[in-house]
Structure 1
Amino acid sequence: MKLFLPKQHGAWAMLIIPFWLGVIKGGFIWQHIPFFIGWLLLYLATYPMLLLFKRKKISFYTTWTLLYMIPSLLFLLFPLLERPSIIYFGLLMLPFFMINAFYTSKNQDRAFMNDLSAVFAFSIAGLASSYLTNGEINFETIVFTFLTSVLFFVGCTFYVKTMIREKKNNQFKWISWIYHIILVFSCFSFGVWIVALAFIPSLLRAIVFYGRSLSPKQIGIYEIINSAIFFTISAIQIGLLT
């Protein structure tokens, strides 16, 4: 049986990066392994679950939702038993899921607000994975796991749209460029120069690649590289803080 997998390849980076940045910030414990497996399966379950709101192929999507959701909940019991209050992070994600469900029901899956909602939901996972270790969330955790993830993936959203859906929209191009420029210079001005370095590749690719005839596959490959650079530099920054 062929697995039913999400088609949004960029979401895999959002699934992985915030979570493991949170692990680095909070410190690793063995429960992070089943937590991540459960988080992965939960993401896989939400894909067919959201498609149910299109009111088509109900039986098919329900089956795949359950096939992913049931083992997901079993794996998520491990972090829940270790830190019961971690459930609040799941509740924080619910409004964003509802926004995604709304846009899916309207067949507007690629709407910017829908993408933004997903960014926030995935980034909350970084807070949860950090919180699991010692039951604490401090200012540094919020800034260097949650906020940096949000800012990075919002930039990715702008960039991808300028390369595909909005590639002929000159106004959107300038919004993307200005966003990336302000992001880098703001980090320098606040003295977090390592974070600024993590955002520089995003700025360069937003400007240099714009207007080039890159296939979706090429765009995806470059985004994997960019995401790996961001994760590595961000992990170094977090390591210096701990």
Structure 2
Amino acid sequence: MLLLPFVVGTVRGVQDAGFRPVTLALGALWLVGYLAYFAGGLWLKSRRRPRYRRPMLTYAAVAAALGLVVLLLDPPLAVWAPTFLPFLALGLWASAQRTERSVAAGGAMTVAASLMTVVAYVACRVPGAPVLVVPGVVWLVAGLLLAYLFGTVLYVKTMIRERGVRAYVVASVAYHAAVTVAAAVLAVVHDPSWWWATAFLAAATARAAVLPGRALSPRAVGIGEIVATLLLAAVALVVR
């Protein structure tokens, strides 16, 4: 969830416009910013225990420095920052309420992560190009990543925390089926390359229907997610 959108957005951006140094700073900011967010969530969840304050402040300070570097290299990118704030605020609020594992909190994080696809792409734009002008296909790719990542929130719950809860399985299968149909529509009305996305999401739908209830360890589930993420990265770089 953390690396996939940034990598896909960057690769597509480099393919279309070339590499820019700000991409390195943006990637570092994204990673360290997540560490600051995660540490902040632990601090809030622990009812502000001092042991979590130092890592939170340390990561936040490094993230602020990296953010300054990004601004110096490409000031217009700052216009994208506010789009992340509502989702980060929801995630931190959920941590404070100790509901950070909820579907809503997980969904907020998948939206924020998927938005990075667009920002990473824009960071590679030709110097002087408008920072808010994004090709439609980039939004579609970000939507594809969001479709899968949010589905993962539901699927993993059916395999671990909500194992055996039929309502979660039904919701997961229904959701995966819906996004598969949406991808098929895109393949028909937009570009045939989206049949790759349709096939991938159809496989994810089958997984969501068949695997819940089976005795798979969290490690096995995690390995499956790594493989699926690599396949999705390939698909996201093919669709047009």
- 1:101 pairs with one of 64, 84, 92: 92
Counterpart Cα distance in 1 of 2:52 and 2:114: 26
Structure 2 unaligned spans of 5+: 126-130, 188-193
Larger mean CA deviation between 38-47 and 186-195 belongs to 186-195
2:140 aligned with 1:140: no
Counterpart Cα distance in 2 of 1:127 and 1:183: 20
Equivalence for 2:191: none
- 2:186 pairs with one of 163, 171, 190: 190
CA RMSD in angstroms, aligned pairs only: 1.7
Equivalence for 2:128: none
2:56 aligned with 1:69: no
Does structure 2 retain, via aligned residues, the 8 Å contact 1:201–1:226?
no
Counterpart Cα distance in 2 of 1:132 and 1:171: 41
TM-score (norm 2): 0.86
Equivalence for 2:7: 20
2:171 aligned with 1:180: no
Give the partner amino acid of 2:140. V
Larger mean CA deviation between 197-206 and 87-96 belongs to 197-206
Give the partner amino acid of 1:139. G
- 2:231 pairs with one of 229, 233, 236: 229
Structure 1 unaligned spans of 5+: 1-13
2:205 aligned with 1:203: yes
How many correspondences in the alignment? 224
Counterpart Cα distance in 2 of 1:76 and 1:172: 39
Counting aligned pairs with the same residue, the percent is 23
2:156 aligned with 1:127: no
Does structure 2 retain, via aligned residues, the 8 Å contact 1:21–1:235?
yes
Shift of 1:180: 1.3
Counterpart Cα distance in 2 of 1:215 and 1:177: 20
Larger mean CA deviation between 185-194 and 106-115 belongs to 185-194
Counterpart Cα distance in 1 of 2:97 and 2:56: 20
Shift of 1:57: 5.1
Instruction: Report SS of the residue matched to 1:190.
Output: helix
Shift of 1:74: 2.4
Does structure 2 retain, via aligned residues, the 8 Å contact 1:26–1:131?
yes
Does structure 1 retain, via aligned residues, the 8 Å contact 2:118–2:134?
yes
Q: Find runs of 4+ consecutive structure 1 residues off by over 4 angstroms.
A: none
Shift of 1:55: 5.1
TM-score (norm 1): 0.86
Give the partner amino acid of 1:201. A
- 1:156 pairs with one of 152, 156, 165: 152
Instruction: Report SS of the residue matched to 1:56.
Output: coil
Instruction: Report SS of the residue matched to 2:53.
Output: helix
Shift of 1:91: 1.3
